[in-house]
Structure 1
Amino acid sequence: MSDEEDYMSDAFLQKLPDTRPGLLSKDCVRRQEQRKKEKQYNEKNKQKPKAVLEREKREEGLGASLSSDNKGFSLLQKMGYKPGMAIGKSGVGRTEPIPVEVKLGRGGLGREADQKRKKDQQVQMHKHWSAKRRKMEAEHKQTFMRRMNERIKNKNVDKDLYKSQKVCEQLDSQMGITQPHEAFFWPEALLPRQAEEDDDDINGVGEDERLDRMQPGYSGYVQDDVDDDDDNDDDNDDDDSRETEEEPAASYSVEEMLDVLTIYLRTKHKYCVWCGTKYNDKEDLMKHCPGNSAELHEDM
């Protein structure tokens, strides 16, 4: 028994008409089918607009190759031209006819090209200003980040200076030192009254002599500025008649004060504020301490 004869097979059931009741009445279904047929008939027999017909005819004519019935093509053939060859004496000219450009607008000749040129200029100008704006935003961002980094760095320097001042006061007190070596070596709240009144000369020791007592080599910011030119030039002059000119105490920035105080702590007490350790001697300090700045301790 084949599938067509089997009344329960899918092939047989698919041939049967759909007789299931719908939501629409028979009259509504009949009117819908009638309107659908009318629509198909109107689309089939509808007359196309003139512009559409012209475009179709033009494309059809341009797509068709020239035949021998064409007068110009027949003249070319008489002169030895064959289909597919390039025109010209040397045979390097055109192989296809000049394409037809249809002018759809009502503007004058050259107006569309001028509008296109202006539009291209506007696009290029927009790209130029966009790139310039992005560059300026990047520069502003870098400037802002640099200022923020400097602010954070200055804040850290102030914190390190205050910590170093507290440590210096404690270590000096342990050694029985009652006066700071420099006015900024101790916190301002712990400075003696004498140090507050006379910051330039403490215990009769001058600025150059105090800096000269420190061992150089730990810092690149502070150097000894001792003027020894007069010692070599005026050996035969009387010492009592020599005129000495005292220079005022140097005004240091926060970074320079921290640098000078770091040298003092490392030379006098063998202490590193960033390591937080008091070393036994100079060799122990140089061996186990990375350096005399916070940057050298960042990788620890």
Structure 2
Amino acid sequence: MSSHDSAGDGEEEDDYMNMTFEETAPSTKTETLTQRKKRLAREAEAKSRPKSKAELAKEEQDKREAALSSNTLDTTNKGFKMMAALGYKAGTALGATRNTTKGAKDDRLLEPIGLEMRDSRSGIGADAEKKRKIREEVEALRAGDKKRKVEAGEFRERQQREREEKRMEGQMWGAMKVCERLEEEDEAQQSSAEKPDAARPKRTKPLKSANVLWRTLVKQRAINDRDRRMRYDLHQSLSRRPDYNDADEDKEDQMALAKKAEIEEVDVDLDEDDTELDEYEALEVAEKVERLVAYLREKWHYCFWCKYRYADENMEGCPGTTEADHD
């Protein structure tokens, strides 16, 4: 056995691969006099340096926000100590307890009144003035919107009234034509009963002989005929001599040239005053239609809305006298 083997039996060999090294403890050596002088010099310089406006404003804002964020009084506050000496306890209201009804909650403040910081430099009443102006502007906008809505509603109502009046005017002219047609049919039947074989030439009647209910229709037709004759007469006067007479000229051309005495009579009727017709034309269109419909039912048993002439005055089968009854 070698000496090396005998040494291994007595003590273990060192394993340098798995060795661990402990960290050295931090030095607890105090700072030197020179280091302490330098540190104190830096702190003194920092304290002696004046703060900028931005830094002062930031510190002030931080203090203000810290104070506003807390709703409780600081126990180290001098005011708190004075109130505590008078019996105040944190979380309770100031002053004597109020006499409230049973079950009612005490409405006294338990926290200090909050602060509201003003960012602007305007006076105390400036906000109220701004609010008043804003309120006036809002009210003006609302009034304008309301006025526009009213005007739009009035415009629609006016259009609806105009459409309804125009529709009733069409009904009025239709009822006039029916009255005139039924009147002419009755006159033709009476004439044929009196003279069945005799020819019945159509003669022009005086304007005022027509019933006032449809006299407007007769007058308007006469005015249109007169205007047509005048235009035709003007055209003929420009194309031939006035003393020329054509034997082959038909009756319509002769009437257009105003060569008949009865035509002249009609023209005279158109120029005369007609008080009865003026009063009737002053009525509302709805009232005219109502009178025409009533006259048709009463005299000829004719329903303007049914467009039918009944056999007797009972008019059995007619739903009513108004247009709404026939919807």
User: Under a length normalisation based on structure 1, what TM-score does the superposition of the two structures give?
Assistant: 0.54
Which structure exhibits the higher relative contact order, with contacts defined as CA atoms closer than 8 Å and separated by 6 or more residues? 2
2:114 corresponds, among 99, 109, 112, to: 99
| 1:183–1:195 contact (8 Å) kept in structure 2 | no
| 2:275 is aligned with 1:269 | no
Match of 2:318 in 1: 288
Q: State the distance in 2 between where 1:161 and 1:181 align.
A: 16
| 2:212–2:280 contact (8 Å) kept in structure 1 | no
Q: Could you say what secondary structure the match of 1:252 adopts?
A: helix
Q: 1:105 to 1:259 in 2, by over 3 A?
A: closer
| 2:97 is aligned with 1:70 | no
| 2:58 is aligned with 1:52 | yes
Identity %, equivalent residues:
24
Match of 1:175 in 2: 186
Q: State the distance in 2 between where 1:260 and 1:195 align.
A: 27
Q: Could you say what secondary structure the match of 1:119 adopts?
A: helix
User: Under a length normalisation based on structure 2, what TM-score does the superposition of the two structures give?
Assistant: 0.50
Q: 1:279 to 1:97 in 2, by over 3 A?
A: same
Q: 1:138 to 1:196 in 2, by over 3 A?
A: farther
Q: Could you say what secondary structure the match of 2:315 adopts?
A: helix
Shift, 1:125, TM fit: 1.1
Shift, 1:256, TM fit: 4.0
| 1:169–1:185 contact (8 Å) kept in structure 2 | yes
Shift, 1:121, TM fit: 0.9
**Structure 2: tracts of 5 or more residues without a match:** 1-53, 99-105, 189-201, 224-261
Who wins on radius of gyration, i.e. which is larger?
A: 2
Q: Show CA shifts across 1:233-259 (max 9, x none).
A: xxxxxxxxxxxxxx9535213444433
Q: Could you say what secondary structure the match of 1:156 adopts?
A: helix
Shift, 1:156, TM fit: 1.6
* Superposed counterparts of 1:180-219, under 5 Å: 181-185=210-214, 187-188=217-218, 189=221
1:249 corresponds, among 276, 301, 312, to: 276
Q: 1:248 to 1:97 in 2, by over 3 A?
A: closer
Shift, 1:116, TM fit: 1.0
Amino acid at match of 1:182: N
| 2:310 is aligned with 1:279 | yes
Deviates most, 273-282 or 161-170: 161-170
Amino acid at match of 1:99: G
Q: 1:137 to 1:69 in 2, by over 3 A?
A: closer
Q: State the distance in 2 between where 1:171 and 1:144 align.
A: 41
| 2:73–2:80 contact (8 Å) kept in structure 1 | yes
Q: 1:68 to 1:164 in 2, by over 3 A?
A: closer
* Superposed counterparts of 1:108-119, under 5 Å: 111=123, 113-119=124-130
Match of 2:253 in 1: none
Select the structure that is richer in helix: 2
Shift, 1:182, TM fit: 0.4
| 2:306–2:318 contact (8 Å) kept in structure 1 | no
Q: 1:97 to 1:258 in 2, by over 3 A?
A: closer
Shift, 1:271, TM fit: 1.0
Shift, 1:138, TM fit: 3.0
Q: State the distance in 2 between where 1:106 and 1:257 align.
A: 75
Amino acid at match of 1:185: W
RMSD over aligned CA atoms reads 3.5
